[in-house]
Amino acid sequence: MDPHQRLFLTTVYEAIEDAGYGGKKIIGSRTGVYAGMSDIGDYSYIEMIAKSDPGQILQALSGNTKALLPGRVSYTFDLHGPSLLIDTACSSSLVALVTACKALKERECDMAIVGSVKIYLLPLKARQMIGIESSDGRTRTFDNESSGAGVGEGSIAVILKPFREALIDRDHIYAVIKGSALNQDGRSIGITAPNALAQADVIDRAWKDAQIEPKTINYIEVHGTGTKLGDPIEIDGLTRAFRKYTDMKGFCAIGAVKTNIGHSYDSSGLSSLIKVVFSLKNKIIAPNINFNIPNQKIDLINSPVYINDKLKKWEQIESARRCGVSSFGFSGTNSHVVLEETPVSENSSSLKNSKEIFTLSAMSQEAINDFLKRYIVFFEAEKEVNIHDFCYTVNTGRGHYDYRIAFLIESQNELATIISKLVGANPNNYHELTNINIYFGIHKELSGNKISKDNNTITYTQKQKLGETAETKLKEFLEGDRTNFNLLNDICELYIMGGDINWEDFYMGEKRNRIRLPIYPLKKERCWINIPQKRKISDGKVDGIIPTVNLNEKACDEMSDIGQTQSENIVLLGRDDGKYSETERKIARIWNEVLGVTNVNIYDDFFNLGGDSITGTKIANLVDLNINKNINVSIIMENPNINDLAQYLDRLLSQ
């Protein structure tokens, strides 16, 4: 699988949990997935597979097809909203966001996941440049010494939901998207050149969509590629947009995250969005760095904007804090989004029960410990957490897996103290570490009525019965005065034994907020393709772009000895005189390498030896390396034994 797809799926999973919709909460929902991705300036992973292990091409196609970037997310979580890949070059990810917003308004989906990923699979010096990169790798947006953009990477995902519904569901809201717009440059001075009039228009239409007064905009996160052509044009477009509404000068701060992290191309729009979301959350405006002397082609004195080059407090003036984000693609597609700070959330309702059930679940004991460590860091940073909202989010917004912990707590301090004692401890000794009941269990579900000697294994039927018993206990607790904590302890015990608890029912009738909490500690495993040891990476380049497996000269010489080290005892059969050509011996070594056979009859059919179209492709490529001529799998199909294939190759080499 292309690392882009793997990292994107990981990031989406984390975003879903961060929003409080982990576990089964989002499964089967009408959630849309909108991914912005382009192939600007990078070498594809499928090409690496083709060079290093061509026999895997057919298997690798689904994991390397761009359209499956969003499709894989929809498949994994069984999502039934639209699933779209959007490519407008540098503006791809923000265009995906605007598209998702419009889909939510039109009720094409109930919720939307928007994201993008941009990584470089090879060293930057080996990649193809596209002409806007700076000479020293630094982005100096609006500076007189600017020479282009530095290069950045990132994997980003955000969850969108209609504002009113998010309020009703008491979701954790980072910011509010007030309005957005898209347009195209049309015919300008060049197909990749920016157009100030089009930029002004898309900003103006986003303001109208947001139904806000433009002079209440306090900050704009610009596209800001740091090019001599693009920066002055962007300021011109901003000035034109503002001048339709006000003559005020220097009232709106501007900056570009590209000065901090570089230009992540198709992911850059969402990178800018993330920056302003956290600026709104923390009520600060980050500085535009790498800025010393303003670009002489920009008239800032008479402009409505000023370049914010220092960290400053974001003061609230006439209205809620508002800002804009611009993202312009060299495809000519422009986008602009207007955001506003989150309104003050309503506090949780007064709750009858003083004790709460805390659960923690993971797929291994190692993950349990990693999870506990994350909670310790969380409590060190967050001194005042509503414990009712905390437990509500944990129980309803996270998955429930084989390894389970459950216990009753009354306060944040109590929970933090208990967690600190559990880290690294033997689970069998949990009950000795505190003066409360700590429930710990491991269960592995089996289908049907299978029985295992492992006491931790339960059948599907047993799991159902545990869930039914828990439901009875839960109902009894809710219908009482909610002070029978023995029932809560019973529910904890049923939970760690493998019972499914309907946590939504547990909190029915109460107003609790989803809050931001630590997310599941995903296991880091290497999944890079294996480059065969026999294939050396030479000092040469393929197509003058990147250093990779060289299919000529040195590599061919190396591959001509394939099988010699591990296959000296290959036995060729089929001729009474026992004489075989050098070509036949080379093919036999390849047969051995791919099919694992040691006694090879030169008349044995390739397919009868276990071959198929995939291994046929691999054999064709290995033969190609040995003779330095193009051989495709159809040749193997037409000459399926060593005798026929050797005769074909001898004729080919004699031409």
Let me know if residue 411 belongs to a domain.
yes
Tell me the C-alpha distance between 561 and 110, whole Å: 60
* Cβ 193 vs Cβ 234: under 8 Å: no
Tell me the C-alpha distance between 391 and 492, whole Å: 13
Whether 217 and 328 share a structural domain: yes
Average pLDDT over residues 581-610: 83
Let me know if residue 228 belongs to a domain.
yes
Highest mean pLDDT among 236-240, 313-317, 628-632: 236-240
Residue written as tokens 């860091």? 377
Considering 281, 310, 341, which residue would you say is the last residue of a domain?
A: 341
Let me know if residue 526 belongs to a domain.
no
* Cβ 307 vs Cβ 254: under 8 Å: yes
Considering 465, 480, 506, which residue would you say is the last residue of a domain?
A: 506
The answer to whether residue 307 scores a pLDDT higher than 50 is yes
**What was the pLDDT predicted at 257?**
96
Whether 195 and 334 share a structural domain: yes
**What was the pLDDT predicted at 128?**
55
**What was the pLDDT predicted at 147?**
86
Tell me the C-alpha distance between 252 and 315, whole Å: 12
Tell me the C-alpha distance between 67 and 87, whole Å: 10
Let me know if residue 549 belongs to a domain.
no
Average pLDDT over residues 266-277: 96
Considering 440, 473, 506, which residue would you say is the last residue of a domain?
A: 506
Coil, strand or helix at 604? coil
Q: Smallest Cα–Cα separation from 355: which of 300, 436, 260, 255?
A: 436
pTM of the prediction?
A: 0.80
* Residue-wise pLDDT tens digits, 442-493: 987 665 444 444 456 777 788 888 888 988 998 888 888 888 899 999 999 9
255 versus 228: which is more confidently predicted?
A: 255
The answer to whether residue 541 scores a pLDDT higher than 90 is no
Let me know if residue 517 belongs to a domain.
no
What are the residues whose beta carbons fall under 8 Å from the beta carbon of 389, sequence distance 6 or more?
Answer: 348, 512, 513, 514, 515
Q: Band the pLDDT of 108: cuts 50, 70, 90.
A: very high
* Cβ 305 vs Cβ 253: under 8 Å: yes
**What was the pLDDT predicted at 175?**
97
Whether 402 and 438 share a structural domain: yes
Whether 173 and 28 share a structural domain: yes
Let me know if residue 436 belongs to a domain.
yes
Whether 299 and 442 share a structural domain: no
Whether 462 and 585 share a structural domain: no
Lowest mean pLDDT among 82-96, 357-371, 517-531: 517-531
Q: How many alpha carbons lie under 13 Å from residue 3 in its C-beta half-sphere?
A: 20
Whether 197 and 172 share a structural domain: yes
The answer to whether residue 123 scores a pLDDT higher than 80 is no
Lowest mean pLDDT among 316-320, 468-472, 522-526: 316-320
**What was the pLDDT predicted at 445?**
67
Average pLDDT over residues 123-142: 74
Whether 324 and 375 share a structural domain: no
* Cβ 337 vs Cβ 114: under 8 Å: no
Q: Band the pLDDT of 546: cuts 50, 70, 90.
A: very low
391 versus 120: which is more confidently predicted?
A: 391
Q: Band the pLDDT of 129: cuts 50, 70, 90.
A: low
Lowest mean pLDDT among 46-55, 158-167, 343-352, 592-601: 343-352
The answer to whether residue 558 scores a pLDDT higher than 50 is no
**What was the pLDDT predicted at 548?**
34
Q: Give percent above pLDDT 90 in the chain.
A: 56
Q: Band the pLDDT of 606: cuts 50, 70, 90.
A: confident
**What was the pLDDT predicted at 478?**
86
395: domain range? 356-506
Whether 411 and 469 share a structural domain: yes
Whether 177 and 257 share a structural domain: yes
Let me know if residue 551 belongs to a domain.
no
Whether 296 and 418 share a structural domain: no
Whether 323 and 394 share a structural domain: no
Lowest mean pLDDT among 545-554, 590-599, 625-634: 545-554
Q: What is the CATH number of the domain that holds 119?
A: 3.40.47.10
Average pLDDT over residues 294-315: 93
Lowest mean pLDDT among 405-419, 489-503, 547-561: 547-561
Tell me the C-alpha distance between 387 and 411, whole Å: 6
Coil, strand or helix at 41? coil
**What was the pLDDT predicted at 40?**
75
Average pLDDT over residues 34-55: 84
- What one-character-per-residue DSSP string does 610-635 give? T--HHHHHHHHHHHHHHHTS---HHH
Let me know if residue 521 belongs to a domain.
no
Q: How many alpha carbons lie under 13 Å from residue 82 in its C-beta half-sphere?
A: 18
Average pLDDT over residues 65-89: 96
The answer to whether residue 94 scores a pLDDT higher than 50 is yes
Our count of domains for the chain comes to 3
Q: Band the pLDDT of 613: cuts 50, 70, 90.
A: low
* Cβ 442 vs Cβ 403: under 8 Å: yes
Structure tokens belonging to residue 167? 């309020």
**What was the pLDDT predicted at 351?**
62
Q: List residues with catalytic annotation.
A: 90, 223, 263
Q: What is the CATH number of the domain that holds 593?
A: 1.10.1200.10
